[in-house]
Amino acid sequence: MSSLTKIILQRLGLGLLTLFAVSVIIAFAVELLPGDITQAILGQSANPETVAAFRAEIGLDRPAHVRYLEWLKGILTGDMGQSLANKRDIEDFFGARLSNTLFLGGVAAVISVPLALLLGVLAALYRDSIYDRVVNLTTLTSISFPEFFVAYILILFLSVNIGIFPGISNVSKDLAFGEKLFRTILPALTLTLVVVAHMLRMTRAAIINLLASPYIEMAVLKGTRPMRVILYHALPNAWGPIVNVIALNLAYLVVGVVIVEVVFVYPGVGQLLVDSVSKRDLPVVQVCAITFAAVYILLNLLADIVSIISNPRLMHPR
């Protein structure tokens, strides 16, 4: 077995353990929150009788560990369970929510990753120039504002004032791809503005870091053009740290979109998670949290694999 396969298998095993730990922590944390689902749903009309009837109906009168083990058994056999609140099968509606979130994350990634890399490479090439400063200033500004503020600014200019894009992203599954894309543009742009700075600065820093190396000086002395020096000599050795940052940001595009989803009324997993936590709907919270954790673990694994492949020293450890 090659060392790479071994590393991957090891990581996947550890990932499963992490997921298990996450599910325990989530179950425990939801248990700690004040009130339970019956009180959250019944609100002001939560008198002891109705609460007791409701608890018995959804099996909430049994101890927490029994309910957790039952859930664990279900999830290991591929049964996501039912929402406690309205008894819908989670797999019936979770898929649609997840595909919405992945779609939004995907659109944002397609815009932001190439943009960040391009701007980053150019910033390294023309470092300390006016261009470098302007790009840095703009992206750092946009990352410094809270997401909802960036979202509202975009809505104000692109939606309310000019009226190009819709101010809320009312996407449903029967929309055509083009229409769905159109309605997803504003939230995707918001996310782009939030994540570009991080990737751009890492690209710039990783490349500049290498520019002081002897082999780059050699290339410069040979008279290679600056652009070629960066793309063919510096960039291949800078991939490790850059991919790591890209992976982190891609993960953020999936799991960090809660606020953007709320502002644009985008029906994704983030909105579902917030809703379910406030209603204490544990099975739904678990599925959302496990999915988010899995996305994080897999993207980090991917980043590690890429940095190992791009670095011969790690490919063949002594």
Partner 1 sequence: MDMYDRQQKELGRLQAKVAKGSMSRREFLSRVSAMGLGAMAPGLYMQSAMAAPKQGGTLRQALTGGASSDSLDPATFLDSYMINVGMGQLRNNLTEIDENNQLVPELAESWDSSDAKTWVFNLRQGVEFHNGRSLTSKDVVASIQHHLGEDTKSAAKGIVSQITEITVQGDNQVKMVLEGANADFPYLMSDYHLGICPENDDGTIDIQSGIGTAGYKLESFDPGVRTYVVRNPNYWKSGRAHFDAIETLFVADTGARENGLMSDELDVISSPALATASRLGERPGIEVFYTNGNQHCTLPMLNNVSPFDDNNVVMALKYAIDRQEWLEKIWFGYASLGNDIPIGPANQFRATNEEIPQREYDLDKAKYYMKQSGYSSLDLKISVADTAFQNSDDACVLFSETARAAGINIEVVRKPDDGYWSNVWLVDPWCASYWGGRPTEDWMFSQVYSKNAIDTGWSETYFNNPRFEELLPQARAELDSAKRRDMYIEMQRIVHDNCSVIIPIFSAYGHASSDKVKRSANVASNWEFDGHKNVERWWFG
Q: Could you list the residues that contact partner 1 (CB under 8 A)? A: 33-35, 37-48, 50, 53-54, 56-57, 83-88, 93, 96, 152, 155, 159-160, 163, 165-168, 170, 172, 262-265, 267, 271-272, 275-276, 278-279, 281, 284
Q: How far is CA 220 from CA 110, 128, 230, in A?
A: 33, 19, 10
Angle among Cα 19, 33, 73 to the nearest 5 degrees reads 35
Structural contact between residues 295 and 124, judged by C-beta atoms closer than 8 angstroms = no
How many alpha carbons lie under 13 Å from residue 152 in its C-beta half-sphere?
A: 6
For partner 1, give the closer residue by CB, 83 or 249: 83
Amino acid in the structure at residue 205: A
Amino acid in the structure at residue 181: L
Angle among Cα 206, 211, 215 to the nearest 5 degrees reads 120
For partner 1, give the closer residue by CB, 84 or 206: 84
For partner 1, give the closer residue by CB, 3 or 172: 172
Percent helix / strand / coil, the chain, rounded to 5: 80, 0, 20
Minimum separation from the CB atom of position 46 to partner 1 (A): 6
Instruction: Enumerate residues 6+ apart whose C-beta is below 8 A from 131.
Output: 122, 123
Minimum separation from the CB atom of position 292 to partner 1 (A): 16
Minimum separation from the CB atom of position 279 to partner 1 (A): 5
Minimum separation from the CB atom of position 68 to partner 1 (A): 20
Minimum separation from the CB atom of position 57 to partner 1 (A): 7
Q: Calculate Rg over the CA atoms of the chain.
A: 24
For partner 1, give the closer residue by CB, 2 or 86: 86
For partner 1, give the closer residue by CB, 30 or 238: 30
For partner 1, give the closer residue by CB, 180 or 198: 180
Rounded to the nearest 5°, which phi and psi values hold at 59?
A: 75, 25
Minimum separation from the CB atom of position 130 to partner 1 (A): 36
